[in-house]
Structure 1
Amino acid sequence: MDTLESLPTVETARKLGLLPEEFEQINQILGRQPNFTELSIFSVMWSEHCSYKNSIVWLKTLPRDSERMLAKAGEENAGLVDIGDGLACSFKIESHNHPSALEPYQGAATGVGGINRDIFTMGARPIAQLNSLRFGDLSLAKTKRLLRGVVKGIGDYGNAFGIPTVGGEIYFDECYNTNPLVNAFSAGIVEVGNVAKATSYGVGNPVFIVGSATGKDGIHGATFASEDISAASTDKLPAVQVGDPFMEKLLLEATLEIIATGHVIGIQDMGAAGIICSTSEMSAKGEHGMIIDLDKVPTRQANMAPFEILLSESQERMLVVIEKGKEDVIQSIFDKWDLNCAQIGEVTDTQRLHFYRHGELVADVPAYDLVLGGGAPQYHREYKEPAYIQEYAKFDADDVDDIELEDVAKIAEHLLSHPNICSRKWVYEQYDSMVGTANRSTNAPSDAAVVRVKGPGLPATDKSIVITVDCNSRYVNANPRQGAMIAVAEACRNIVCTGGEPLAVTNNLNFGNPYVPEVYWHFVEAVQGMGEACRRFSTPVTGGNVSFYNQSSDHGPVFPTPTIGMLGLMENPDHRMTLDFKKEGDLIYLVGPSTNDIASSEYLYSYLGIKASPAPTFDFETEWRVQESIKTMIRHGWLQSAHDVSDGGLFVTLAESAMAGNKGFTINVDTRHRTDSYLFGESQSRVVISISPEQLQHVEGYLNDSILPFRFLGNVTAEGLRIEDTLVMTCEAAKSLYDNALGNIMK
C-alpha cells in the first residue's frame, strides 16, 4: 500500500479538520496508522457536512413516520412521499452557503445542480424549484455583489436546465454580512414502482461512474463547509465547484432512461466528498464492499493524486451499480447521450472499500465506519442559553409610544419599500417560472406555489403539489424554540391558504459554530421546537441538511435559521385559492386573534430600531383551529381570497392583496388595541380573507360555530388604501414603492 514517505501525524489530522481523539479512533478502526489518502477519506466523511456528528443525536428526535412516507428520513438521496394514484413526490432542500460566500455565481449554480441531482437520482423528474436566501446589509457593495452573483447563478443554471423556479424567500440583515445563506429546494415526481435506491449489493456487479469527468474543483469542499469563514477562506476557492447545466440536462435524461431499464441496483449523486462518499454510503447501506480502480475514472487533469480523485466534488456525476451482464445496456444509453460512462470497479462481499492506483492499493477502509449512522462519531455538545435571551424577554410594548393615524403613511412607505417585505420582482424576473408549463402560480399569486403534477410517461391527473419555504430568523434568534415552531406553522398556513393539504417537511438548519455553547443551544432549542410543531401538524421530516459554521470573527454567528421546506397536496384544482382581492364591494375579515403585540416585528426592528424583543405571540391550538377553518371555507367555495398575516403585519397583508388585484380597501380601526400592533404587529395565527356579500351568512355562521376569534375589517374598494376616512396612499403609489424598491437599490 502507498504510504507516501511517512505516515501522517496527529498534526496532519488536525489540519484536515479532525480532532486528536478522532485520529486515535481511526487508528483503532484500521488497526494501524492511516496513510494520507485514508486520512483524507476519514476527514471528509467525518466532517460535519457529511457525518452530522454534532447534530445527528438531535435530528433523531424529529418525527419521521406517516402513512405517506416511502423512504426513511436521510437514508435515500431525497425524501419520498406518496401523493396517491401510484405517484410519489421526491423533494429536498440543501445549502451551498460557504461556496456562495466566496464565489456567489458558481456557489449558487452548483447548489441548484446538486439538489436537482438528488431528485432525479431517485428516478423522479424534477418539476419545480424554490430557494431561500439570506444576505447582509443591502447598502454594502459586497452584499449587492453577492446578491447579483447568487441570483444570476440560480437563474442561469435553473433556466438552462429547464426546471421552473416557482417561488422562494429572501431576507436581509447585517448578521449575514460575511455569511450569506443559499438554500435550494427541488421537487420531482416518480411512479412508485420506478423509484431508484442509493444502495449497492450483489458480488461481482459492476460499478460505473457516469457524467462529467473528474477534476480538482471541490476537493475538500466538505471540510471547507465544516469550518468558519475567515480571511483565509479565499485561499480555498478550489473547494468551490463549477457547474454545467447543459451537461446536467443530458445526465437527467440518461439517468431516468437507465433506471427505467430495471437493471439498476443502486445509484447516487456525487455531491459532498465525491467518489468516496458515494462508494462508502452505498456499500454501507447494502452491507457490501467495492474494489475501485482509480485509473479508470475519467479525469480532466493529468496526474491527479488518489486523494484528489476520491475527494473531488466535480459536478454532474453519478455512481451506478447495475446487474452483471447488463454493462452494454448502460454503455449504449450513455453513448447515445454523449456522456462519460466508465466501469471503475465491482461489488464485493468484504464490506470494505479497496482503492487502487497504478496497480497499487492506495486505501483500504471499512465502509460502515465512514458513514452517518455507522461508525462515524456522534457527539453531545455543551449548550447554554445566551444571556441576551433574558434581556429580550424584558421588552414591554408599553415602553413604546403608540402611533396616530397620521403616522401610518410614513410607516407604510417604510415597510412596503423595505428589502425584507417589498416585491422580489428584481429577483424573480431573472428566473424562468413557466418552463414545463406546470406552474399554476405565475399569473395567480398565492401564499405558496402550486405546480401541476405532470410529466413524460406519467398518468394524467388533476393533482398539484403545493410547496413553500419559510423561516423568520429574527423570530428564531429571539426565541429559537418558538421561532422554529412558527416557521413550521407558517409553512402549513401558507399551504392551507393556497388550498392545499400539508404533508411533510424537509429542513435546512443554518447555524453558527457548534462548539460555541450558546450557538449549540440555538440549534437544540430550534430542533426541539420544530419537532413539536411537526408532530402537531402531522408533517413528518423526510430529511434535509445541516449547515453549521455560518460564523465569522467580525460578525459572529448568523441568526439561527432553520428553513422549513414543506410539501402539500391539492387533489382538486377547484380548491385553488389566491391572495388577490377580486371585486369592489367584497367584505374583508380577519380570522384569528388580535393582540397588543409588536415584538420582533419589522416595524419595531427596522422602523423604530428596537432589536431586543421576544418572538411574536404564538399558540398551537389557535393556529390549528385557524388553519382548519380556512381549509373548510375554501373547500366550501365561500372565499374570494386568503392571505396569511406575516411580515409587516395586517396593513402589509391588506396592501399585498389590494395591489395583486389592482383594487383598494377601506378598513376600520380596532379601538381595543394599540394602533401600531393592530396595523403592523406580527402576532401569529391570523389570515385575511375576502368574501362576496352573498357568502356573509355562511362565513359568519361557520366562524361563530367554530368559536374562533374573527373581525369584520371593511370592504374591497376600486382604489386607495384607506383606514376609516384617511387615505394612506393610492394603490398605484403603493405598487410603485413595492414593485421597484429592490430594483432601485440594485441599480
Structure 2
Amino acid sequence: MNNQITPEIVAQHKISPSEYESILKILGREPNLLELGVFSAMWSEHCSYKSSKKYLNGFPTKAKWVIQGPGENAGVIDCGEGWAAVFKMESHNHPSFIEPFAGAATGVGGIFRDIFTMGARVEASMNSLRFGEIKGKDESINKHQKYLIKGVAAGISHYGNCMGVPTVAGETSFDESFNGNILVNAFGLGICKSDEIFYAKAGSAGNPVIYVGSRTGRDGLGGAVMASDSFNEASKKLRPTVQVGDPFAEKLLMEACLELFKTDYIVGIQDMGAAGLTSSSFEMAGKSGAGMKLYLDKVPMREEGMNPYELMLSESQERMLICAKPGFENKIKEIFEKYELHAEVIGEVTDTGNMELFWKGELAGLIPIAPVTELAPVLDRPTKEPEYLNKIKNIKIDDFRKISAKKAFKTLLKDENIANKAYIYDQYDAHIGTNTIKMPGSLGAGAIRIKESGAAVAMACECNTRMNFVNPLVGAAAAVAAAGRKVAMSGATPLSITDCLNYGNPQNPEVMWQFAKGCEGIKIACKELNTPVVSGNVSLYNETNGISVQPTPAIAMVGVLKDAKKLLNSHFKESGVSVFVLGDTGADFAGSLYMKSLFGVCGGELKELDFKAERALWDLVIKANDKGILEFANSVGVGGVAITLAKMSAFGGVGFKGECPYDDERWLFSESFSRSIVGVKGKKNIAKLEAMAKEAGVKCQKIGKTKADNSFELGSIEMSLDKLKKLYFSSFSEILSK
C-alpha cells in the first residue's frame, strides 16, 4: 500500500488538486493508495453530495407523523396503531446503462437492504424508469434502447421476484435525451413496529464490529466513483464496476437480520452499499463520534489475492456491517450460520476518532474519521439560466396547425409514453406476500395492506421530464403534486415523499441552475402541501458526450388510509356511472405530450402551480371517498382528460359516452394541473359531490357517463372499445418486437 502517489493516480481517483491539498492537511502527510481510495470514495459526488448539499439544506423534513427524516438508511413515518412505514428511493443509472440486467437487479437489492437495515420487512417496491428513443430515425439507437428496456425489466423482476417482494406500481417514459444515459430509480417500502427501528451507529469503545452476509469479491470495485462521472465511449468498458447480485442470498440476509432484531445483541447496523466497507464503517463510526479498527484480512473473500484497497472499495452485494454489544458475538454468528451466511468479527470500536486499517498484523491505513465524514468538500458551483429557454419559452399551441381530435387521440393512445407497459410490469410478481390490494396496471397509486391494523399504505412515483425541461422549478413542484394526487385518488392521505434527483453534469452551470431550481420547487411544494421529505438520493453526471438528460426529479409519495376496505378504484367498473372532471382546465400545453408527439416540440411556458387548489382537490376526494360517494377516481396527467378517460375505459372494459365541455377540442389533451376524474352513481350522491366541491372551491363538471356497449365516445372522438384496448394494450409490445 506504499505506492508512490502521482498526479495521474490522483486524477484517476477523480480527486481535484484542491481536494488533494485538503487530504494532505488532514493526514499531515502523503496518503498511500489505500487511503487515497478511501477519500476518493467518501468524497465522490455519489457519497458526499458535494455539488448538491448546498441546495438540499432547507427541505421540509418534519411533521407529527415523521419518525425519522433524512440522515439514516431510509425515512420512517407513522402509520397508526403502532406501525410504521420505512421507505426510500435511489438511483442505479450508470450501472444499468453499462450492464442493464445486473445494474437494475442490484439497484433493487441495494434499496431493499436500506429498508430492512432499519428493522422493517420489505413489503413493496416501485421503479421509475427513463429510456431513449425506441422508434426514432436511427435504428441502431432504437435497437440498443430496446435491449436496455428488456435487460432492466428482467433485472428488476429477477431480484424482486426472488426476494419475494411485490412490485406494486411504477412509471416509464421516453425521450431522446436519455439515448446515452438511461435512468433506473428503485423504491422500496417496508413495515415494522414504530418502536422497533434500528439505526446506523457504532456505539462506544469495545463494541465488536461484525461483517455479515456474502463474501467480498472484486465486482463493483470503484462503483461510487464511476457513478460520479459522465459517460463517453470509454464508459462501455466499465462493466467490472457493476455489481453482481444474488437475490437468494439477500433473502436469507433479510430473514437473518429480522431474526437478529428480535434480540438485544446489537448497537447498530449499516448496509454496505455505495463504497462498500468504506462508507458503512466511516458512517457508523462518524455518527457515534468514535474510532474503529478493522482487520481486513479477516473479511470473508471469494477471490484469491485480494488486497486492502479492493476490500475497502468493493461493492459486492448482500453484505452488512454490525456493531454489537460485547459478549454476544457467538450468538450473532449462530443466527447467521443458521441461514448459511458468513458472520465474522473483523474489528472493534475505539475512542481514538481514527479509522485504523490493518492487514496481516501491519497498519495499512490510518485516517481520522470526522474530517472524512464532516469536512467533505461542499462546492458552490456556478449557475446560469440555460440559453435554450429563450428559444422555447414563447412556443404556443396556436403556433401549430390544428389536428382533429380523433387523429390526435389515436396518435397519443399508441405513443410509447402512454401505451400500456404490461410487457414490463407483467414480469413483476405483484401478488406475493398477499398484501397487495392495488396492482400495477390498475392505474393510479399502488397499495398494500397492514394486516395487523387494517390500514392501507398507498404509494406512487411521478415526474414529467418535459415539464422539468421547460421549467425546472414548476416541473419539480408539479412532480410532488402529481405523486400526491395519485395517492389521494386512492382515498389515502399523502404524508411524505422520498426523492431521486437525476440531473446532468454539475460542472455545467446550466445544469446546476436546473438542479437549484428543481430543489426550490420541491421545497415549496412539500411545504405548501404538507408532505415533508424523509429520505432521498441525488444522481448527477447523467450525460454522455456532453448531452445531459432532461431534469428528472423523481418523486415517490407515500400515504395512509386507515381502513383498507375503503381503498378507491382508479378505473371504470360498471355502466351507468356519471363521470365528472374536478378542477380547472385551460390551454396548458407547455411540455405536453400533445406537442411532443404530434409536432416534435418540447417548449412553452408553464403556469404556476396553485397549491391551495391542489390540496383542496386531494381533501375533497379523500372526504368524498370516506363518505362512500365515489365509485372511482383517477388523476388527470399526461395526455389530458381524453387519454385519462380512455385508459380508465380500457382497464375496466367499460364503454363511455361524453361531450367535450370545451370550445376547443384540443383542450381535451391539455395537461393543466390539479385535476381528477371521478365517478358517482345516483342523484343523491351527485348532489352531495357537487355541494362538497362547491364548498371546497373545486370546479365540478360532468363530462359523460359509462355505458354498457362496446364504444368510446368523447365529442368528435369515436372508437370501438375493442380497437381502443388493442391500441392501448398492444402498441408498446409491438414497438419492442420490431
Which category describes the TM-score, using the shorter chain as reference length?
over 0.9
Q: Which residue of 2 aligns with 1:500?
A: 492
Distance 1:417 1:231 in 2: 33
1:431-446 to structure 2, matched below 5 A, reads 431-442=428-439, 445-446=442-443
Distance 2:435 2:540 in 1: 35
Q: Does 1:693 align with 2:682?
A: yes
Q: Does 1:391 align with 2:379?
A: no
- Partner amino acid for 1:17? K
Distance 2:37 2:695 in 1: 65
Distance 1:663 1:279 in 2: 57
Q: 2:644 is matched with which residue: 649, 653, 672?
A: 653
* Alpha-carbon distance change, 671 to 362 in structure 1, aligned in 2, over 3 angstroms: closer
1:255-654 to structure 2, matched below 5 A, reads 255-371=257-373, 374-403=374-403, 407-442=404-439, 445-454=442-451, 460-553=452-545, 556-615=547-606, 618-654=609-645
Structure 1 residue 443, shift from structure 2 partner: 8.8
Structure 1 residue 706, shift from structure 2 partner: 2.9
Q: Which residue of 1 aligns with 2:139?
A: none
Deviation digits for residues 586-605 of structure 1 (CA, Å, limit 9, x no counterpart): 21111100212222211111
- Partner amino acid for 1:475? M
What's the secondary structure of 1:715's corresponding residue? Answer: strand
* Structure 1 moving runs of 4+ over 4 Å: none
Structure 1 residue 563, shift from structure 2 partner: 0.2
Q: Which residue of 1 aligns with 2:730?
A: 740
Distance 2:149 2:69 in 1: 35
Structure 2 contact 442–651 (Cα < 8 Å) conserved: yes
- Partner amino acid for 2:604? S
Structure 1 residue 393, shift from structure 2 partner: 1.9
Structure 1 residue 610, shift from structure 2 partner: 2.2
CA RMSD of aligned residues (A): 1.4
Task: Give the unaligned 5+ runs of structure 1.
Answer: 455-459
Distance 1:444 1:696 in 2: 28
What's the secondary structure of 1:464's corresponding residue? Answer: strand
Distance 1:671 1:661 in 2: 26
What's the secondary structure of 1:640's corresponding residue? Answer: strand
What's the secondary structure of 2:61's corresponding residue? Answer: coil
Distance 2:81 2:576 in 1: 42
Q: Which residue of 1 aligns with 2:11?
A: 14
Structure 2 contact 128–461 (Cα < 8 Å) conserved: yes
Distance 1:169 1:199 in 2: 35
Q: Which residue of 1 aligns with 2:29?
A: 32
1:1-400 to structure 2, matched below 5 A, reads 2-4=1-3, 6=4, 8-73=5-70, 75-139=71-135, 140-371=142-373, 374-400=374-400
Structure 1 contact 207–344 (Cα < 8 Å) conserved: yes
Task: Give the unaligned 5+ runs of structure 2.
Answer: 136-141
Q: 2:656 is matched with which residue: 656, 661, 665?
A: 665
- Partner amino acid for 1:106? A
Q: Does 1:680 align with 2:677?
A: no
Distance 2:539 2:41 in 1: 15
What TM-score comes out, normalization by structure 1 length? 0.96
* Alpha-carbon distance change, 602 to 463 in structure 1, aligned in 2, over 3 angstroms: same
Distance 2:236 2:662 in 1: 56
- Partner amino acid for 1:561? T
What's the secondary structure of 1:641's corresponding residue? Answer: strand
Distance 1:443 1:223 in 2: 34
Structure 2 contact 169–439 (Cα < 8 Å) conserved: no
* Alpha-carbon distance change, 443 to 180 in structure 1, aligned in 2, over 3 angstroms: closer
Distance 2:612 2:390 in 1: 26
* Alpha-carbon distance change, 527 to 737 in structure 1, aligned in 2, over 3 angstroms: same
Deviation digits for residues 380-405 of structure 1 (CA, Å, limit 9, x no counterpart): 110010012233221233323344xx
Distance 2:229 2:439 in 1: 39
Return 698-707 or 183-192, whichever deviates more. Answer: 698-707
**Identity of aligned pairs, percent?**
40
What TM-score comes out, normalization by structure 2 length? 0.97
Distance 1:552 1:485 in 2: 27
- Partner amino acid for 1:434? H
Distance 1:575 1:297 in 2: 51
- Partner amino acid for 1:704? K
Distance 1:698 1:583 in 2: 21
Deviation digits for residues 311-354 of structure 1 (CA, Å, limit 9, x no counterpart): 00000000011100011110110111111111101110011100
Q: Which residue of 2 aligns with 1:457?
A: none
What's the secondary structure of 1:194's corresponding residue? Answer: coil
Distance 1:551 1:443 in 2: 30
Distance 2:673 2:717 in 1: 27
Structure 1 contact 500–575 (Cα < 8 Å) conserved: no
Distance 1:704 1:209 in 2: 61
Structure 1 residue 274, shift from structure 2 partner: 0.6
Structure 2 contact 466–602 (Cα < 8 Å) conserved: no
| Count of residues paired in the alignment | 729
What's the secondary structure of 1:434's corresponding residue? Answer: coil
* Alpha-carbon distance change, 631 to 9 in structure 1, aligned in 2, over 3 angstroms: same
- Partner amino acid for 1:687? S
Structure 2 contact 590–602 (Cα < 8 Å) conserved: no
- Partner amino acid for 1:567? V
Return 690-699 or 157-166, whichever deviates more. Answer: 690-699
Distance 1:149 1:3 in 2: 41
Structure 2 contact 592–602 (Cα < 8 Å) conserved: no
What's the secondary structure of 1:101's corresponding residue? Answer: helix
What's the secondary structure of 2:586's corresponding residue? Answer: coil
Structure 2 contact 92–184 (Cα < 8 Å) conserved: yes
Structure 1 contact 354–364 (Cα < 8 Å) conserved: yes
Q: Which residue of 2 aligns with 1:728?
A: 718
Structure 1 contact 270–318 (Cα < 8 Å) conserved: yes
Distance 2:43 2:606 in 1: 36
Distance 2:187 2:318 in 1: 17
Structure 1 contact 118–269 (Cα < 8 Å) conserved: yes
